[in-house]
Amino acid sequence: MIAVAEEIGNMIIVMQSHAGPEHIRSVVQRIEEMGYRSNVSEGEETTIIGVIGHSSPDQLASLEFMPGVDRMVPVTKPYKLGSRDFRPKSTVVQVGDARFGGEALVMIAGPCSVESDHQLWEAARAVKASGAQVLRGGAFKPRSSPYSFQGLGKPALEMLDQVGDELGLQVITEVLTPDDVDLVASYADILQVGARNMQNFTLLQEVGRSGHPVLLKRGMSATLEELLMSAEYILANGNDNVILCERGIRTFEDSTRFTLDISAIPVLKHLTHLPVIVDPSHATGKWAFVPAVAKAGVAAGADGLIIEVHPRPEEALSDGPQSLKLERFAQLMIELKPLALAVGRSL
């Protein structure tokens, strides 16, 4: 396993389409004899071999003449494992029946925070009935104010686990610190790394080592390249199950909580093979704008959505103003279906 992204080399080797396993083996062997490691990515038509380690282009030049090698491509981007150059085919992250990056959109829904058993059951039953596959609910909350509700912690993890099991929903919840990764991973199907933690590199390394599916949210002031470098920390620690999330960035505009960067979706789909979803709840901060922005995300090519839903938003302990009521979420799911079809997806 690779410790840090910086160790990844700057060359990828594209094999000829007719190259056989013996050609691939010899190239890998040669790379290893030179003191590097290799990462083989087998596509439908060609195999691509990444050279891992601080590589010198001169030393690697001889590989170009080996049987089965088509060409060597220097990687100029600061991230490699996440780039489409390295893996042209889109990655599908499978979590139970949910396939992020597949043809069908994946819908994640549920409350911002787990507040009580009753609240979670009500929300979970309703989102399941409307067609969501994944239940969200915060147990450890990253709040801007230390006086705000911080989440119920471990009891909330237990509730999520139980409700998810009984209803056949996958569950996602945020992990705030490296020390909590094992605990959260023992209850949740997907670990959420929040916007405020996108550059918490020790946390990224730890969720990478866990091998558990990760939803990585874009930091509110992060460029897409920075988001992809953060994803690289997870990938470089041996975890390919990374889903990216555009959740709005800080701009001068203050009529919404953040500004959804709609072009982030096609740009990310171009730069990376990883699935990309949209969070219209945190992006807008107001429930009335959530449906339109959710639809915009799907139209722009998102692989799914994460939406805050609460049985009684006016009583919510966090993010009530941006939470959809149960029936509004049900209605949105109905409205999203024809839109999904129009962009070649299903729901």
Which residue of 195, 242, 249, 290 would you call a contact of ligand PEP, by CB under 6 A? 195
Nearer to ligand PEP, 189 or 279 (CB): 279
SS3 158: helix
Contacts of 347 (CB under 8 A, 6+ apart): 104, 105, 107, 131, 333, 336, 337, 340
- Please tell me whether residue 217 binds ligand PEP under the rule CB under 6 A: yes
CB of 181 to Mn ion, least distance (A): 21
Token code pair at residue 72: 């060597």
**Could you give the C-alpha distances from 119 to 107, 152, 160, 287, in angstroms and in order?**
19, 13, 11, 18
CA distance 121 to 71: 55
> How many chain residues interact with Mn ion (CB under 5 A)?
2
CB of 190 to ligand PEP, least distance (A): 12
Which residue of 13, 49, 112, 234 would you call a contact of Mn ion, by CB under 5 A? 112
CA distance 199 to 218: 9
Which residue of 15, 83, 319, 345 would you call a contact of Mn ion, by CB under 5 A? 319
Contacts of 237 (CB under 8 A, 6+ apart): 1, 2, 3, 204, 205, 208, 209
CB of 319 to Mn ion, least distance (A): 4
* Nearest Cα to Cα of residue 328 among 282, 289, 285, 283: 289
Report what 313 binds from ligand PEP, Mn ion, none; CB cut-off 5-8 Å by kind.
none
CB of 245 closer than 8 Å to CB of 258: no
- Please tell me whether residue 261 binds Mn ion under the rule CB under 5 A: no
- Please tell me whether residue 246 binds Mn ion under the rule CB under 5 A: no
Report what 102 binds from Mn ion, ligand PEP, none; CB cut-off 5-8 Å by kind.
none
Which residue of 53, 88, 142, 285 would you call a contact of ligand PEP, by CB under 6 A? 142
- Please tell me whether residue 174 binds Mn ion under the rule CB under 5 A: no
CA distance 175 to 184: 7
- Please tell me whether residue 206 binds Mn ion under the rule CB under 5 A: no
- Please tell me whether residue 249 binds ligand PEP under the rule CB under 6 A: no
Which residue of 5, 27, 98, 112 would you call a contact of ligand PEP, by CB under 6 A? 112
* Nearest Cα to Cα of residue 192 among 248, 124, 242: 242
Answer positive or negative: Cα dihedral of 89, 90, 95, 97.
Answer: negative
CA distance 101 to 115: 31
Report what 316 binds from Mn ion, ligand PEP, none; CB cut-off 5-8 Å by kind.
none
Which residue of 50, 110, 138, 280 would you call a contact of ligand PEP, by CB under 6 A? 138
Residue 24 amino acid letter: I
Nearer to ligand PEP, 49 or 277 (CB): 277
- Which segment (51-59, 189-197, 221-229, 265-273) binds ligand PEP by CB under 6 A? 189-197
CB of 149 to Mn ion, least distance (A): 11
CB of 230 closer than 8 Å to CB of 196: no
- Please tell me whether residue 282 binds ligand PEP under the rule CB under 6 A: yes
- Which segment (26-34, 64-72, 181-189, 191-199) binds ligand PEP by CB under 6 A? 191-199
CB of 328 closer than 8 Å to CB of 294: no
Which residues sit at the interface with ligand PEP, rule CB under 6 A? Answer: 112, 138, 142, 194-196, 217, 247, 279, 282
Which residues sit at the interface with Mn ion, rule CB under 5 A? Answer: 112, 319
